[in-house]
């Protein structure tokens, strides 16, 4: 498959929307559910015991009393053994997906502390496709066409377009999940646009650029890279922003614009829920080529259970996607937002791990 180097030079003409934030409350609730579901903890860490609040306080007080009596109030370092009560619950989202063999991207999924009582949520047999439309905002006409696609399509907004906040708000009003399409430095001469993350910039400047971009795309559930073949190949560069992505509770989709990308591994190490793009629909803009990629995505969904697809707001692409969700339904495949697909991917991998461990 050809690598994608999308030079989206088109700039928005300043279209404005009278978007309201009526959708924000439900959007926030969904975000909280996703964050709870995808709370990442190390499964390799030794198990820690839970203590009731009063038992812990009583035990701690007893230790202090003994130390006071026998050590004349010597300095004490107390180590708490409790664990966060925000353990992920897999039933937080509707069960979708299939139980395939682990895919090639499974190693990029950081472990999740699974409540084994709810692992039965990964029992549905419907394969799913998560479709993300990148570059929203670069071309007003075709970005508007992307907004008209079914709500299960995820829209990733370029932050450096003039009306990026309005595009994000309008997308949420139309029921779409919104992501930040973050410009990053490419290997070639393509221009990623203003505010891109660059290898040569100090870490704090790249962090500030990412913070500003997030402010331009309010309500984003996750981030995927726009271009970025050079930036994502630099371990140190990605590591400098990974903690911020985790602190914001965001998801990450590695667009895989380069086979040398380190982004998924580094984000995983920082505890960020992350997956890789499986299929680009329109590297070749010709209509027959787009249809071939659609059929490829469908077959991968049948084989692997969950597939992550990226496309762009372009004429032939928008025409091909008009009825794709209905075609998928007839073929026994479901289209789902990115966050739901990521949650399902995690659940499927965790089910495989639990089964292989005899649980």
Q: What's the CATH code of the domain at 286? A: 3.20.20.370
Q: Which domain holds residue 138?
A: 24-40+87-356
Residues 116 and 134: their CA atoms lie apart, in Å, by: 36
pTM of the model: 0.69
Q: Please tell me the predicted confidence (pLDDT) of residue 271.
A: 95
Residue 73 covered by a domain: no
pLDDT in tens, 302-331: 999 999 999 999 999 999 999 999 999 999
Residue 16 covered by a domain: no
For residue 263, count other CB atoms closer than 10 A to its CB: 33
pLDDT in tens, 51-109: 344 444 454 555 444 444 433 333 222 222 222 222 222 222 322 222 222 333 333 44
Q: Which residues of the chain have pLDDT under 70?
A: 1-124, 358-359
If phi > 0 it is left, if psi is from -120 to 50 it is alpha, else beta; for residue 74 that is beta
User: What is the total count of domains within the chain?
Assistant: 1
Residue 5 covered by a domain: no
Residue 80 covered by a domain: no
Residue 240 covered by a domain: yes
For residue 100, count other CB atoms closer than 10 A to its CB: 18
Residue showing tokens 């306080």: 57
- What b/e string do you get for 111-137 counting C-beta neighbours within 10 Å, with b at 16 or more? bbbbeeeebebbebebbbbbbbbbbbb
* Structural contact between residues 101 and 341, judged by C-beta atoms closer than 8 angstroms: no
Residue 77 covered by a domain: no
**Could you say which DSSP state residue 153 is in?**
S
3-state per-residue secondary structure call for 216-240: HCCCCCEEEEEECCCHHHCHHHHHH
Q: Please tell me the predicted confidence (pLDDT) of residue 27.
A: 54
């Amino acid at each position: 498959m050809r690598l994608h180097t999308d030079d989206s030079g088109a700039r928005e003409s300043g279209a404005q929307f009278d978007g309201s934030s009526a959708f924000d409350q439900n959007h926030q609730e969904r975000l909280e559910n996703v964050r709870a579901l995808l709370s990442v903890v190390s499964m390799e860490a030794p198990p820690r015991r839970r203590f009731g609040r009063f038992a812990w306080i009583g035990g701690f007080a007893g230790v202090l009393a003994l130390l006071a009596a026998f050590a004349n109030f010597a300095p004490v370092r107390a180590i708490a053994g409790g664990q966060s009560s925000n353990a992920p619950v897999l039933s937080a989202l509707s069960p979708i997906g299939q139980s395939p063999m682990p895919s090639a991207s499974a190693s990029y999924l950081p472990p999740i502390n699974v409540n084994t009582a709810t692992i039965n949520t990964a029992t549905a047999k419907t394969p799913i496709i998560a479709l993300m439309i990148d570059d929203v905002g670069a071309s007003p006409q075709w970005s508007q066409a992307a907004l008209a696609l079914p709500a299960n399509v995820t829209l990733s907004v370029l932050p450096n377009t003039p009306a990026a906040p309005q595009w994000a708000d309008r997308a949420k009003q139309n029921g779409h999940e919104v992501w930040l399409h973050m410009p990053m430095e490419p290997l070639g001469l393509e221009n990623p646009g203003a505010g891109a993350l660059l290898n040569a910039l100090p870490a704090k400047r790249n962090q500030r650029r990412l913070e500003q971009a997030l402010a331009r795309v309010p309500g984003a559930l996750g981030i995927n890279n726009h271009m970025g073949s050079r930036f994502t190949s630099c371990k140190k560069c990605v590591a400098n922003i990974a903690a911020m992505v985790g602190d914001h509770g965001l998801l990450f989709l590695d667009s895989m614009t380069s086979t040398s990308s380190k982004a998924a591994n580094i984000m995983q190490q920082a505890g960020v829920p992350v997956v890789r793009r499986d299929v680009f629909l329109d590297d070749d803009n010709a209509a027959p080529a787009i249809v071939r990629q659609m059929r490829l995505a469908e077959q991968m969904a049948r084989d692997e259970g969950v597939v992550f697809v990226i496309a762009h707001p372009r004429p032939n692409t928008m025409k091909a996607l008009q009825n794709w969700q209905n075609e998928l339904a007839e073929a026994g495949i479901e289209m789902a937002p990115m966050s739901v697909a990521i949650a399902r991917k995690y659940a499927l991998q965790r089910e495989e791990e639990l089964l292989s461990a005899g649980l």
